[in-house]
Chains A and B, each alone.
Chain A
Amino acid sequence: MTPHRLRAALRGVPDPRWLDAALRRVATDPAAIARLFATAARKCGRGPLPDPPGWTVDEAARALLLTALPAGHAAAAESLYRYGDAAEKRAVLRALPLLPIGAECVPLLHDAIRTDDTRLVAAALGRYARHLEQPAWRQAVLKCVFTGVPLAVVDDLAGRADGELAAMLAGLAAERHAAGRSMPADAADLLDRLGAGSPSTTIPEA
């Protein structure tokens, strides 16, 4: 994802001049972002964008506002997340991989993954989660399976899934099996691909 692609996707919003003006304003007056970020959904809309898939109008508009800042992206992201409503927090999380920052916003991922708001958990597992240490990342993937978040939201799942994750998923599958419940299809597929498809052979010894 690139800011350029989001910008193109937002050409059709009902009031494109508001967004143009807001982006120019943020570039010269960074403090203005707090209000503009909060009001962006009312000005631009909340519906899904046809392209890029998986993005809504408000997320894309807010992510663009963050990218338009001249400097201080990490501090702005933290503040907008801290004082944001659920949709704003989600937009911050989705914007992180687009910002010129290192790993300094990882604490936001920890916060989001700790919540029980599945929209935030899902948004925390995009490309920026490459900065997330592997144990936390595995727990987050497992939480997705627990709470019904589709694993398609997890960036680089195939590349990062390892034997330890397979063992954790196998344990969950065994518990579900014992309770007469099933695993979500995407998690069962992942377990198969990781070569631990049969829970009976992989139940860790207690």
Chain B
Amino acid sequence: MRIFDPHIHMTSRTTDDYERMAAAGVRAVVEPAFWQGQPRTSVDTFVDYFDSLIGWEPFRAGQFGVRHHATVALNPKEANDPRCRPVLDLLPRYLDKDGVVAVGEIGYDSMTPAEDAAFAGQLALAVAHDLPALVHTPHRDKARGVERTLAVVAESGIDPGRVLVDHLNEVTVRLVRDTGCWLGFSIYPETKMSPPRMVELLRTYGTERILVNSAADWGRSDPLLTRATGEAMLLAGFTEDDVDRVLWRNPVEFYGQSGRLDLADLDGLRG
């Protein structure tokens, strides 16, 4: 089973995780820039964070045979902090980098006017840099958050086929599935979404334009839940080709739209 985790925060994970992921078949990851669990207080700390996402973390991943790409953005939570907002002016510089395959995570946290401005502005950056966009959906007031998200996406003029709407569930998937956007599901150890529920969603909606990720970060999360979902799919009667489509070909197709995905010389790709 070859696995591409399209959303995982490796900066927060240990080398044990990299070893276990590689052994489980994870060959490639995308690490979106996001909130790090505690407030940042200056633009310089974002520079160091982005620097790590395009330098140190790909090097670390490479030691385990895992190919690492990133998405870069000002996340919705910190879009509300005037100390962080000037990072928007620095983003164009990072959006030119080889390892940056999308603008993200953008979207809503508390649906404030500051979040509106940052979201719309960064969708425009995605269009200007010819990059896809990774859109986080809020954990609170989720259904209305998704509706508002889709309205902003539609207004931006970005091709919906270049937008991944993430952290969906049984309720919000219905809002997104006919918009042409890609559907992202984050599988967590508890709550949010589990492998059996994910299998049910795949039964209902098929495997097209669906991405499954672990969204593992500094909180309680599990980077092997992509693999667990693949195994649950097989047990439920999906074919190996279905699993390969969801866990490999779909993320490759989505992020491949950047023209910057580099999967050359990776071992085990025929897995």
Residues of A within 8 A of B (CB): 34-35, 38-39, 41-42, 82-87, 89, 115-117, 119
Contacts and interface: CB of A to CB of B under 8 A. Distances in A.
A85 B54 contact: yes
Contact of A39 (B51, B56, B96): B96
A85 B47 contact: no
Given A41-B98, A42-B260, A85 B55 contact: yes
A117 B55 contact: yes
B64 interface: no
Interface string B228-260: 000000000000000000000000000000011
B97 interface: yes
Contacts of B138: none
Interface in B29-85: 47, 51, 54-56, 58-59
B157 to A, nearest CB: 23
Interface string B79-116: 00000000000000110111100000000000000000
A82 B54 CA distance: 12
Contacts of A83: 47, 51, 93-94
A168 to B, nearest CB: 26
A124 to B, nearest CB: 14
Nearest to B57: A86
Given A42-B98, A85-B99, A87-B98, A34 B59 contact: no
Nearest to B264: A46
Given A82-B47, A85-B54, 16 more contacts: A38-B96, A38-B98, A39-B96, A41-B98, A42-B98, A83-B94, A85-B55, A85-B97, A85-B99, A86-B54, A86-B55, A86-B56, A86-B59, A87-B98, A89-B55, A115-B56
- Of A38, A39, A84, A89, chain B has the most CB atoms within 10 Å of the CB of A38
A38 B97 contact: yes
Contacts of A119: 59
B261 to A, nearest CB: 11
Interface of B: 47, 51, 54-56, 58-59, 93-94, 96-99, 259-260
Contact of B98 (A82, A85, A89, A117): A85
Contacts of A35: 96
B69 to A, nearest CB: 11
| 5 shortest interchain CB distances as A-B pairs | A38-B96, A85-B54, A86-B55, A117-B59, A85-B97
B70 to A, nearest CB: 9
A34 B98 CA distance: 13
Nearest to B97: A85
A134 B46 CA distance: 34
14 contacts: A34-B93, A35-B96, A38-B96, A39-B96, A83-B47, A84-B55, A85-B97, A86-B54, A86-B55, A86-B58, A89-B55, A116-B56, A117-B55, A119-B59
A194 to B, nearest CB: 31
Contacts of A39: 96
Contacts of A116: 56
A7 to B, nearest CB: 23
A87 B54 CA distance: 9
- Of B51, B59, B94, B98, chain A has the most CB atoms within 10 Å of the CB of B98
Nearest to A90: B55
B93 A117 contact: no
B219 to A, nearest CB: 26
A131 B54 CA distance: 28
B262 to A, nearest CB: 8
Nearest to A87: B98
Contacts of B260: 42
Contacts of B98: 38, 41-42, 85, 87
A90 to B, nearest CB: 10
Contacts of B94: 83
Contacts of A38: 93, 96-98
Contacts of B51: 83
A115 to B, nearest CB: 7
Contacts of A115: 56
